[in-house]
Structure 1
Amino acid sequence: MLAACTPAEPHPQDTFFETLLAHCGNAYEGHVSLGDPELDDEWINSRIVIEVRECSENRIRIPLHVGDDHSRTWVITRTTAERELELKHDHRLEDGSHDPLTLYGGHTISVGTATQQSFPADDYSKRLFAELGYTASIDNTWIISFPDQNTFRYRLAREGREFQVDVDLTETVEAPQAPWGWEDNYQYPRARN
């Protein structure tokens, strides 16, 4: 007699990515839920909107609008490594060109869970931070999570620094203007190895 076949449990990183994909085309408002009143003054006092603007099977682009600053996009990619996820921060200047501090981020080094993934700074980011004088950021870890079904959370953590934005997923909002540089189809400069 054959043993009954049970379906395999979905991989946590696949489930996490699919949860993000489910929000494609939507924009949501957020707020700083953990931060430094002096360092994070602009964020705390501005309207924050994320927009799950562009999605494909292996990449999701999420512009982050802070008031009138449309320079930031989070890029989450399924890499060629087995089920690994990558987070990059694409920063643009107002003319659409790349900010010198761009494409920093990291890769998941552990599986994480279906609702939370951590991205410690990768070697490229550490070199970039050192070259540009942002040495405190070398130990950054970014955590993206869904602490409950109604909240998307972006968190930056390192010794002596905690920053967190919580986004309300219960109500969509109108998306702001396109992020700076979007019209060039978001071509990426080649990351230095």
Structure 2
Amino acid sequence: MKPILAAFAATSLLAGCATPAPTDARDQFMATLQGMCGQRFEGGLAYAIDPNSEFRGKKISTEVVCTPAGVRMPVLVGEDRSRTWIFTRPAAGLELRHDHRHPDGTPDAVTMYGGMAKEGGTARSQAFLADAATARMVPGAETNVWTVSLSEDGKVLSYRLERHAKPRAEFVMTRVASRT
């Protein structure tokens, strides 16, 4: 009987040392992104309200880059490397920012717009509402909602923009083998 009790006690101690799974969907989403570090995705524009969109017909790709501050996803549109999606987890919630840069690395006049995740997201999908700074910076963007989703199998990443509760654009990218 003593060996069984010893095994139970050891199992209980080890279980106490395990890191509990995040219970907040925002933490779960960040954990999902962090579990994708180094993964690359490629695809294109699946939908755009503007038939002359600058994204039409261009390959869109990103790689998940994890940093101590959060997750960065540099977005390439054709050869244009000016965009990066930045996900952070400040005390106020889960945040998405769009960092836009000129080729020399200086910030674009319209950069760091975005907002916080709204309630009701999941470990694989979060919707981010435009904040007041975004509304001041980008005329008409006060109702923007950006939704970032990852398929259950982790192979498809989608980014969708809505404005005034109507879809404006969606990118769909599929995971590709990492470069070696």
Shared fold (TM-score greater than 0.5)?
yes
TM-score range, shorter chain: 0.7 to 0.9
Question: Partner of 1:31 in structure 2?
Answer: 44
State the Cα distance separating 1:143 from its structure 2 match. 0.6
Counterpart residue identity of residue 141, structure 1: V
Q: Provide closer, same or farther for how the CA distance between residues 14 and 140 of structure 1 changes in structure 2, counting only shifts above 3 A.
A: same
CA contact under 8 A between 1:141 and 1:156: conserved in structure 2?
yes
Gaps of 5+ in 2: 1-19
Q: 2:117, 2:39 → 1: CA distance?
A: 25
Mapped to 2, the partners of 1:55 and 1:172 lie a distance apart of 21
Which deviates further from its counterpart, 15-24 or 59-68?
A: 15-24
The match for 1:167 is: 173
Please report the TM-score for the alignment, with normalisation by the length of structure 1.
Answer: 0.75
Structure 2 SS opposite 1:87: strand
For 1:174 and 1:36, the matched residues in 2 are separated by 34
Q: Where in structure 2 are the equivalents of 1:16-165 lying within 5 Å? A: 16-36=29-49, 38-40=51-53, 42-56=54-68, 58-81=69-92, 84-129=93-138, 135-149=139-153, 150-159=155-164, 160-165=166-171
Runs of 4+ off more than 4 Å: none
Structure 1 runs not aligned, ≥5 long: 1-6, 130-134, 176-193
Cα deviation for residue 93 of structure 1 reads: 0.6
Match of 1:189 in 2: none
Q: Tell me the distance in 2 between the aligned counterparts of 1:21 and 1:54.
A: 6
Tell me if structure 1 keeps the 8 A contact 2:38–2:63: yes
Question: Take 2:99 and 2:112, find their aligned partners in 1: how far apart are those partners?
Answer: 5
Letter in 2 for 1:21: Q
Report how far residue 174 of structure 1 moved. 4.2
Deviations 1:86-133 (A, max 9, x none): 00000001111000000000001314112211111001111112xxxx
Larger Rg: 2
Q: Which residue of 1 aligns with 2:28?
A: 15
> What amino acid is aligned across from residue 78 of structure 1 in structure 2?
R
- Alpha-carbon offset, residue 45 of structure 1: 1.1
Note the alpha carbon deviations across 1:13-72, whole angstroms, 9 max, x for none: 1111111111112222121112236242x312111111112333x411110000111000
Question: 3-state SS of the aligned residue for 2:136?
Answer: helix
Distance 2:136 2:50 in 1: 29
* CA contact 2:159–2:172 (8 Å) conserved in 1: yes
CA distance in 1, matches of 2:177, 2:27: 24
Q: Which residue of 1 aligns with 2:10?
A: none
For the 8 Å contact 2:65–2:73, the answer to whether it is kept is yes
SS in 2 for 1:148: coil
- Give the TM-score normalised by structure 2: 0.80
Over the residues paired in the alignment, what is the CA RMSD in angstroms? Answer: 2.1
